[in-house]
Structure 1
Amino acid sequence: MVCVAHSPDADDLFMYYAIVFGWVSSPLGQKFENVALDIETLNVATIKGIYDVSAISFGAYPFVRENFALLRTGVSFGQGYGPKLIKKKATHLKKNFRVALSGEHTTNAIIFRLAYPEARIVYKNFLEIESAVLSGEVDAGVLIHESILNFDSGLVVEREIWDIWQEFCGTDLPLPLGGMALRRSIPLNKAIDIEATLSKAVAVAVRNKKLLSKMLLERGVIRVNENELDTYLNLYANNDSIELNAQQKQGIDKLFELGFEAGIYDILMRCEDYFIPTEYGDLRFS
């Protein structure tokens, strides 16, 4: 049984549930089970090596590179959008403002720390960030997942993480948010099969978006309404989620470069060096 861990946000559920509903199966007959946890919990769990396959922030991947390979599918990028730094109206942020972030290893946290080195950071579950700002516990917070679509009217966007990313890049590269990682100890033929099965699940989900969305809403596993779900999936679970393209790979490499230059990562990485070697698909044993 292969355990696939993903976040409970709409795009991860959408991309995985073609397997749950039996629309996609493994050519090798591998069986899948899933667990849904918030993304920072999954980042830490992957660092500890808990799950076979897990959603992971691209910003966390360098910390697990020796024990996990990157998958080319199930990816979420920002393209003109992404996490939002929000605050209460009329609040002026000082250099050392208090801010709530969704986790130390998330991509948005890494980019935020590069842009605001003097900010005082508190890490919280992403579902608690909006209320922390509204209560005055913190001066600001970075909203992620579906929270970017519908937050309290008393809050305003101070800055888009997308804009910060563009300033660092100097070009229009997509913002690498979340991907998937697979344990390297899994035999190669099975690893290739897992990636192919997950890729097919994402492709089937995207092609059958309306039906799958309806089924997820009927089962009450989605935190947003129908219109918000449609908007969110258009952003984060679309044709560009099926398989990494060249521009997306450049975006990942730029994130790794920024992290290395800031001393966050210990080596300069290229994502191409960390994928499963699918050219060995004819092998039956690793």
Structure 2
Amino acid sequence: MKKTITIAHSPDADDIFMYMAIQFGWIGNDFTYKNTALDIQTLNDLALKNEFDVTAISFALYPLITSEYALLRTAVSFGEGYGPKLIKKKDTHLKRNFKVALSGANTTNALIFRMKYPEAKIVYKNFLEIENAVLNGEVDAGILIHESILEFDDTLCVETELWDIWLEFAKESLPLPLGGMALRRSLPISDAIKIERDLTNAVKIADSNRHILAPMLMERNLIRVNEEKLETYLNLYANKNSICMNETQLKAVDTLFKLGYDYKFYDKIIHAKDYLIPSEYEKFRNS
């Protein structure tokens, strides 16, 4: 009997797109994969409880779970000239202590926001509720993430792009680390290597066959946007740069971790490469 591996991801289009090659049976024969879709902050909270074998996380969460989870190289989402948006009603001015809705305490957007706006009053909401919270006056502003950045009510405007804040703090043009994947350390290393390979191949196949996969997702009502917006969104967050983190992306993750330490969100500095799965183990074992 195959071992069952639990995988958790968010319900937004890029995570679903990158995972579904496994769900449709296009990849992976060693394990039975069982998936769960939850909003990102719920995933972050459950990662703190070591709930799933493999889980999507905000990169900003990872320094808090290093003892239980390794960092995967694949199924990653970075912003490059784009990303979450801080929105407000048009013709309004935000005070220093404005009230803002964020999608979760351990999200990357929350970390960057709190560095820039330390006096803001924060409330946390499911990302699907944030636009309405601004519209009905419950909060003065909110950060939109996922597909919400593509279109929002025309009475709202962008106060600032998180991308611009990131560049301000990073001091150089690095991609903005948003979403990553983590794998439970208690899994045997040989299994971990195979799982990462399966996920990497799934993202690669999804990217190469998006003209087939995207309509399948639309037909099954798995996506919250129309076909045109889906294509735009996947071009942003589920693309060739999602397949395997490159050196520039790893440097960006390290920069995020260093900023988190400098602003006292973490108690130590970590480097992403030290927490990746040692895929070279398999070559040494078989040599």
TM range (shorter): over 0.9
Structure 2 matches for 1:51-70, cutoff 5 A?
51-70=52-71
- SS of the residue corresponding to residue 159 of structure 1 reads strand
State the alpha-carbon separation in 2 of the partners of residues 30 and 8 from structure 1: 22
Does residue 24 in structure 1 map to residue 27 in structure 2?
Answer: yes
Residue identity matched to 1:65: T
Report the equivalent of 1:279: 280
Cα RMSD of the aligned pairs, angstroms, is 1.1
For residues 109-158 of structure 1, give each alpha carbon's deviation from its aligned partner in whole angstroms, at most 9, with x where no partner exists. 00000000000000000000000000000000000000000111110000
The answer on whether the counterparts of 1:39 and 1:55 sit within 8 Å (CA) in structure 2 is yes
The amino acid across from 2:69 in the alignment is F
Task: Tell me the CA shift for residue 210 of structure 1.
Answer: 1.1
What secondary structure, in the 3-state scheme, does the structure 2 residue paired with 1:61 have?
Answer: helix
Contact 1:189 1:283 in 2 (8 A): no
Give the Cα separation in 2 of the matches to 1:282 and 1:226: 42
In structure 1, what is the Cα distance between the partners aligned to 2:225 and 2:211?
15
* Distance in 1 of aligned mates of 2:283 and 2:166: 40
Please list, as runs of the form range in 1=range in 2, the aligned pairs for 1:125-274 lying within 5 A after superposition.
Answer: 125-274=126-275
- Is the CA contact (8 Å cut-off) linking 1:102 and 1:125 kept in structure 2? yes
Question: What are the equivalent positions in structure 2 for 1:83-122 lying under 5 Å apart?
Answer: 83-122=84-123
How far off is 1:30 after superposition? 1.1
Structure 2's unaligned 5+ residue stretches are: none
The aligned counterpart of 1:6 is: 9
Distance 1:234 1:281 in 2: 33
Q: CA offset at residue 180 of structure 1?
A: 0.2
Q: Percent identity?
A: 61
Letter in 1 for 2:26: W
**1:42-81 mapped onto 2 (5 Å cutoff):** 42-81=43-82
- Deviation, structure 1 residue 281: 1.1
Instruction: Work out the number of aligned pairs and report it.
Output: 283
3-state DSSP of counterpart to 2:31? coil
Q: How far apart, in 2, do the equivalents of 1:202 and 1:259 lie?
A: 29
Residues 98 and 122, structure 1, Cα contact 8 Å, conserved in 2: yes
Letter of the 2:54 counterpart? V
> Which consecutive residues of structure 1, in runs of 5 or more, have no partner in the other structure?
none
* Distance apart, 1:190 and its partner CA: 0.3
CA-CA distance at 1:283 after TM superposition? 7.1
Return the alpha-carbon distance in structure 1 between the equivalents of residues 24 and 53 of structure 2: 21
Q: CA deviation at 1:282?
A: 4.5
SS in 2 for 1:204: helix
- Quick check: 1:75–1:179 contact (8 Å CA) kept in 2? yes
2:39 is aligned with 1:38: yes
Aligned AA (2:90): K
Deviation of 1:31 (Å): 1.1
Task: For residues 21-57 of structure 1, give each alpha carbon's deviation from its aligned partner in whole angstroms, at most 9, with x where no partner exists.
Answer: 111114xx21101000000000010000000000000
SS of equivalent to 1:206: helix
Instruction: Give TM-score scaled by structure 2 length.
Output: 0.97
SS in 2 for 1:220: coil
Give the secondary structure class of the aligned counterpart of 1:31. Answer: strand
Looking at structure 1, the residues matched to 99 and 68 of structure 2 have their Cα atoms a distance apart, in angstroms, of: 35
Match of 2:18 among 15, 20, 28: 15
| Structure 1 letter corresponding to 2:161 | E
Q: Is the 8 A contact 1:70 1:180 kept in 2?
A: yes
